Amino acid sequence: MRTPRAFVAVVAAAGLVGLAGCGGSGGSGDGYDWAKAPDTAKISEQGKSLPTYGLASDWANYEGVIKAFCAKYNTTCDHKDTDMSSADEIQKFDAEQKNPVGTASDIGLMWGPVAEAKGVVPRYTPPSAAKLKDWQKAKDGGWVATFYGVPAFVVNTDKVKSPPLRWDDLLKPDYKGQIAIKTPTSSGTGQAMLVAAAVAHGGSISDLGPGFDFFAKLKKSGNLSDAKMSEDTLEKGEAPIQINYDFNGVTQKAELGKKGVHLTVQVPQDGSIWAPSGLMVNKYNTAKGDFLKAFMDFVLGDQAQIEFARSGAHPVRAVNGDLTVPADAKANWLPEQQYSVVKEVEYSKISPEDIVRQWEAKVVA
């Protein structure tokens, strides 16, 4: 599972703040033509090694997706990932442009426009992206939405006998010091949590104020735990209530269940959101350009989308109504009725930098 690192300093250091409309995502500077269709004859050789940033094999079953793609093109794909946040990934692509190593990254979709503005993604949109809505793909190319997670409550019911069902339940004094979150200044999961709470309290992508207000109250209540949000603290009861993606919670429930620990995973009954992740590719790694163009196309095909579903995540095309997921691939999904309160928002139009600033001013201060 990805464990995003703190990126407040990274955002500033990488020059990512206030980049909307600046820079560009044009050519790589070495003559490689990103606009052309991939040369499939070159994919096998280019795919022998696959260094990625923030795209772990166990994140939404990328292992299954990569294995299927590499089998299709008869290549080995020696996959090695370095854990990073979305902001880290953008900075890394930019920093190593003269000697590119990284190939692709998983990003929280609100970081896609930031990557475009920074100019680290290519002007290439795969044919399969025609199935996406405009906000689910880059304006000029380089990133596409892949799957959704839904912010939910993951609760150790051996420690918490009456699990929260709604956002405001988290404010109850019964949960003093029991709730762990990943803050929006250090995690894409935390950013999704904030947006979900804002929308559930009457806000929108242009008005996240209700979300900041809620978490200011939660902090003041004393219900937040000092323990780090992790499977370990969930198991030990140091933080028996955690706000995480549904598919992560489902995985934790299965893993801890083997140890006799009982969890529930609950989408808040008063609302949550479809929080999309996306695939971003490195404009500067032209040595693997044909591989990357084909991989961008592949992740939106039926086979890859169904592999994402097996993790408990919801493929973007399934949520769009463009893909029927077979029953066996939905085995790790929560009961369908839990998703009736989940709303779609145009997630890539949210400014992550603004979230960082406002969290510091309205919740931390």
Q: pLDDT tens across 305-321, in order? A: 999 999 999 999 999 99
Assign residue 92 the CATH number of its domain: 3.40.190.10
> CA-CA distances (angstroms) from residue 287 to 29, 31, 281, 290?
13, 11, 12, 8
* Angstrom distance (rounded) from CA 82 to CA 54: 6
Neighbours of 37 (CB within 10 A): 13
Statement to judge: residues 94 and 140 lie in one domain: yes
> What's the domain range around 228?
151-274+346-364
Residue 180 lies in a domain: yes
Statement to judge: residues 137 and 193 lie in one domain: no
Statement to judge: residues 88 and 209 lie in one domain: no
Neighbours of 1 (CB within 10 A): 16
**Confidence tier at 327 by pLDDT (50, 70, 90):** very high
Statement to judge: residues 162 and 303 lie in one domain: no
Statement to judge: residues 54 and 118 lie in one domain: yes
Statement to judge: residues 131 and 65 lie in one domain: yes
Statement to judge: residues 120 and 80 lie in one domain: yes
Statement to judge: residues 307 and 168 lie in one domain: no
Statement to judge: residues 140 and 209 lie in one domain: no
Residue 5 lies in a domain: no
pLDDT tens for residues 85-132? 999 999 999 999 999 999 999 999 999 999 999 999 999 999 999 999
What is the pLDDT averaged over residues 35-41? Answer: 97
Tell me, yes or no, if the pTM score tops 0.75: yes
Provide the pLDDT for residue 11. 52
Helical spans, DSSP H, in the chain: 8-13, 43-46, 62-72, 86-95, 112-118, 188-200, 209-221, 231-236, 246-257, 289-298, 302-310, 316-319, 352-359
* Angstrom distance (rounded) from CA 285 to CA 306: 28
Residue 317 lies in a domain: yes
Helix axes 289-298, 62-72, angle to 10 degrees: 120
Give the 3-state secondary structure percentages of the chain, helix then strand then coil, rounded to 5. Answer: 45, 15, 40
Residue 3 lies in a domain: no
Residue 38 pLDDT exceeds 50: yes
Statement to judge: residues 101 and 160 lie in one domain: no
Residue 18 lies in a domain: no
More confident residue, 1 or 360: 360
User: What is the total count of domains within the chain?
Assistant: 2
Statement to judge: residues 308 and 246 lie in one domain: no
* Angstrom distance (rounded) from CA 310 to CA 68: 13
Residue 209 lies in a domain: yes
